[in-house]
Amino acid sequence: MSQEDRKEINLIRDVLDNQLVDRHKQPMGRADGLIIELRTGEPPRLAYIEAGAQTLARRLHPKLSNWVSKLASRFGKDGEPYRIPWSRVHDVGIDIDVGVDAEKTPVMLFEQWLREHVVGRIPGGS
Amino acid sequence: MLARAISVLFALALLSGCGQQSPQDTIKAELPSIQSNAATAHLVAESWASGKVPDAYANNALQSAQSEVKTSVQKLSSLPAGSDAEVHRSLIQHLQRVQAAIEQISTSVQKGERTVVPAQVKQLGDEQDALDKIAGQLGVGQ
Amino acid sequence: MKKIIQVALGILTSIGGFLDVGAIATSAQAGAAFGFELIWALVLGTVCVTFLVEMSGRLAAASKHTLAEAVRERFGAKFYFIQYIVEVVVDFLVLAAEIGGVCIALQLVTGLSYRWWVLPVAFFLWLLLWKGTFDLIENSVAILGLVTLVFVAAAVVVKPDWSSVLAGVVPSVARHDTAHYLFIAVSIVGALVSPYLFFFYSSGAVESKWDREYIGVNRAIAVVGMGFGSIVSLGLLVAAAVVLHPRGIQVDSYNQAALTLVQPFGFIGFLLFAASLGITCFGAALEVGLDQAYITAQAFGWRWGESQKPSKDARFSMTYTVVIFLSSLLMVAGIDPLQLTLFTMALSAAILPIVIVPFLVLMNDERYVGKYRNGWISNAVVIFIIGLAFVLAIVALPLEILGG
């Protein structure tokens, strides 16, 4: 978004929980959390969108959150919240378009693991 | 919240349900089931005799009707006779005859004796009529 | 011209997609136990589901959102996951019941117990989802589903007293056995107004890339498709009322339901009953299995789509794989398919408000549907019928369980 282009966004209504779409137009999870940076002497700044099972779980129930992080630590890094800097957000409409490549981010780790170890080994999977 | 309310309702219903029943209630519950199974056996056997249903289906349907009736009859036989012992004894007798008629048919169908089945079906029909009559006297059944 | 073909095709594919094991089981039971008395429940259910299916198509066409996505965004994660869990549990039972229906159909024809068929059927189901595309699945279900018209033919052949049939349209109180009467009434509504239908239908519309152009087509599909489904159900109810009710035969198993077609059509009728049961249940099982994957993928924002290769949406594909396997285990365990079906359908009616209330809010929200939002008639009809079904369900479910 350019500096001149002024637009107001209702964060909870239009950003939180909405679909994230990467630069190849592929779905890459949902906006599970919003991180605001507080700076001394300056107005607070919207810093990141967080995506990940742990962020989501924390919003649903603290116990669920513990359980998810235990599960995540057993299976590697998936579930750890991934932060997308607000500067990478290209457009907020029905979906949130972000300028990253989903396949290179941790949000796709579980998908990639399944693709490689399970789906790819079943005939007709790929 | 709603889900919890529903599950509590279920739990309560399960706890209190299917518990003690009066003999009259048991008859009320079991008799229509026996009549239904007898009528099923009747229609299935009739259809089988005229080649409208496959053997496997007829066997299966008759056997399950037979075992359902058997269970119900056993349940009713073990009931205390209550005030009118005469009527109760007569009811049990009729039930046993219905049960026997179904068993006969089931055996014949198993052996593939297509020619004897129509007569046995007619026999079952007579027993059903008699049962309906006594059920009517008791004020239960259909 | 192209538009007309498109409309015709859309309507054709909608036919047969709206029937399932619940409709067959509840209609047969209702007719056998209460004659024509419960036709009103079928009419209410049909009206309600027609409105709701139209809405879910309109939501998808106007907002490009599926129902699950829209609820997730509009009501947030917390509410969505309550709805999600309830829906997943009920879908799980419905899927098991549909698989059970297919296996019973195979048992009828072969004589081999349904439990032997569960795993092969589940495998075939999975294989179709794994290899097939959305259109292939929808079209084949729709065309094969036309076989169920045999129930309508049966209703005509058995020569019912049509004035009594008409009288059944007017709601009445039970002449006997009120608890069971209410339970079957609720199950009929729950079988017709299956919550999975709306999630599934809107996902299918998004998957087929519907836009505002489709709003008219969608209306036609909803009316014709649901009309077809309920005419078939009505046919079965009438046939059961004429063939089974006077003989005092209750439908405690599918063996008895089959007699509704054996009586008028003989051996062919028997085969057509098995075919109708098998095909509708198989089609519905495909839909419910997919639905589980749709609502899960949409909850987490995963990539989803039945027409893609499984490797393109591994999590989506693995969801239906796991779900089909788990549901089939319930059947292998030997739960009676018919009892499971009836119970699940009544449960479906009980959870309707959780699904329908947010749905109605969305359909009145201009940010989602713009000028295509609901009129007061749609709102009133749906609120009335869902409210009624919910109250009846809350009364009837415990009563039925109490009754043993």
Q: Taking residues C312-321, what's their average pLDDT?
A: 94
Q: How would residue C360 be classed by pLDDT, with cut points 50, 70 and 90?
A: very high
- Axis crossing angle, helix A53-60 with helix C67-110, rounded to the nearest 10: 90
How far does the CA of residue A120 sit from the closest CA of chain C (Å)? 7
Band of residue B30 on the pLDDT scale cut at 50, 70, 90: confident
Go through C72-89 and write b for each residue having 16 or more CB atoms within 10 A of its CB, e for each that does not.
Answer: bbbbebeebbbbbebbbe
β A96-98/A19-21 pair status? parallel
For residue A46, what are the β-bridge partners? A36
Percentages of chain C per state (helix, strand, coil), in multiples of 5: 85, 0, 15
Written as one letter, the residue type at A54 is Q
Read off the pLDDT band of C235 (50, 70, 90).
very high
- Tokens, residue B113: 């004796």
Start-end of H helices in chain A: 53-60, 62-74, 109-117
List b or e across C231-241, with b for residues whose CB sees 16 or more CB atoms inside 10 angstroms: bbbbbbbbbbb
Candidate from C139-143, C272-276, C312-316 with smallest mean pLDDT: C139-143
A40 to chain C nearest CA, in Å? 32
User: Which two tokens mark C302?
Assistant: 């995963």
The reply to whether A94 touches chain C by the CB within 8 Å rule is yes
* Predicted local confidence at residue C11, as pLDDT: 65
- Measured between beta carbons, the chain C residues lying within 8 angstroms of A59 are 77-78
**Residue A83 Ramachandran class (φ > 0 left, ψ -120 to 50 alpha, else beta):** beta
- Sorting pLDDT into bands at 50, 70 and 90, what band is A125? confident
Chains touching chain B through at least 3 C-beta pairs below 8 angstroms are: C
Taking residues C357-384, report their average pLDDT: 93
Share of chain C above pLDDT 70, in %: 95
Q: What's the pLDDT at C221?
A: 87
Contact B53/C109, CB-based, under 8 Å? no
What amino acid occupies position C98? E
pLDDT for res C179: 85
Enclosing H/E stretch for B116: none
- Residue C267's nearest CA partner among B58, A38, B70, B96 is B58
Express each pLDDT in C79-91 by its tens digit: 999 999 999 999 9
C267: closest CA of chain B, how far (Å) = 4
C40 in Cβ contact with C168 (< 8 Å): yes
The predicted structure's pLDDT at residue B4 = 59
Strands (E), C313-397: none
Number of Cβ atoms within 10 Å of the Cβ of B93: 12
Cα torsion B34, B36, B41, B44 to 10°: value is -170
**Contact yes or no for C310/C317 (Cβ under 8 A):** yes
What is the structure's pLDDT at C99?
96
The two structure tokens encoding residue C53: 């299916």
Q: C237, C280, C230, C229: which is closest to C260 by C-alpha? A: C237
Contacts of B55 in chain C (CB under 8 A): 111
C138 has pLDDT over 70: yes
- Using a CB-CB cut-off of 8 Å, the residues of chain C touching A27 are 301-304
Q: Which is more confidently placed, B99 or B87?
A: B99
Please tell me the predicted confidence (pLDDT) of residue C2: 58
Contacts of range B86-89, beta carbons closer than 8 Å, 24 or more positions apart: B87/B134, B87/B137, B87/B138
At C45-80, the pLDDT tens digits run: 999 999 999 999 999 999 999 999 999 999 989 999
Mean pLDDT of chain C, nearest integer: 90
Residue corresponding to tokens 């009836």: C342
Long-range CB contacts (within 8 A, 24+) of B127-132: B127/B38, B127/B94, B127/B97, B127/B98, B127/B101, B128/B35, B128/B38, B128/B39, B128/B42, B128/B98, B130/B94, B130/B97, B131/B34, B131/B35, B131/B38, B131/B94, B131/B95, B131/B98, B132/B35
CA-based nearest residue to C56, from C295, C289, C232: C295
Q: How many helices (H) and strands (E) does chain A have?
A: 3, 7
pLDDT at A54: 84
Mean pLDDT taken over chain B: 84
Judge whether residue C125 has pLDDT over 90. Answer: yes
Kindly determine whether residue B18 and residue C354, on different chains, have CB atoms separated by under 8 Å.
no
Q: Residue B47: its chain C contacts at CB < 8 A? A: 259, 262-263, 266
Query: For C149-166, how does the pLDDT look when each residue is reduced to its tens digit (9 = 90+)?
Result: 999 999 999 999 999 999
Residue B81 Cα, gap to closest chain C Cα (Å): 23
Mean pLDDT estimate for chain A = 86
- pLDDT surpassing 70 at residue A2: no
> Helices then strands (H, E): number in chain C?
16, 0
Cα dihedral value C33, C34, C40, C42, nearest 10: 20
Judged against a pLDDT cut of 60, whether residue B17 lies above it is answered with no
Between residues C118 and A110, the one the model is more confident about: C118
Which residues are within 8 A (CB) of C103 and not within 5 positions of it... i.e. 6 or more apart?
Answer: C114, C115, C117, C118, C121, C331, C337
Read off the pLDDT band of B20 (50, 70, 90): low
ipTM of the complex: 0.88
For the whole model, what pTM was predicted?
A: 0.90
Q: Residue C136: pLDDT above 90?
A: no
Round to the nearest angstrom and report the end-to-end CA distance of chain A.
38
pLDDT recorded at residue C8: 65
Quote the pLDDT of residue C307.
83
| Residue C72 to residue A17, Cβ atoms within 8 A | yes
Q: In this complex, do C398 and B13 lie within 8 Å of one another by their Cβ atoms?
A: yes
pLDDT digits (tens, 9 = 90+) for A12-65: 888 999 999 999 999 999 999 999 999 999 999 999 999 988 888 888 888 888
**pLDDT tens across C6-25, in order?**
666 666 656 656 788 899 99
Chain B residue numbers with beta carbons less than 8 Å from the beta carbon of C401 are 10, 13-14, 17
pLDDT band per the 50, 70, 90 thresholds, residue C265 = very high
Q: Which residues on C lie below 8 Å from A29 (Cβ)?
A: 300-302
- When CB atoms are compared, the residue of A18, A94, A114 closest to C64 is A94
Closest CA of chain C from B59, distance in Å: 9
Q: Do chains A and B touch (3 or more CB pairs under 8 A)?
A: no
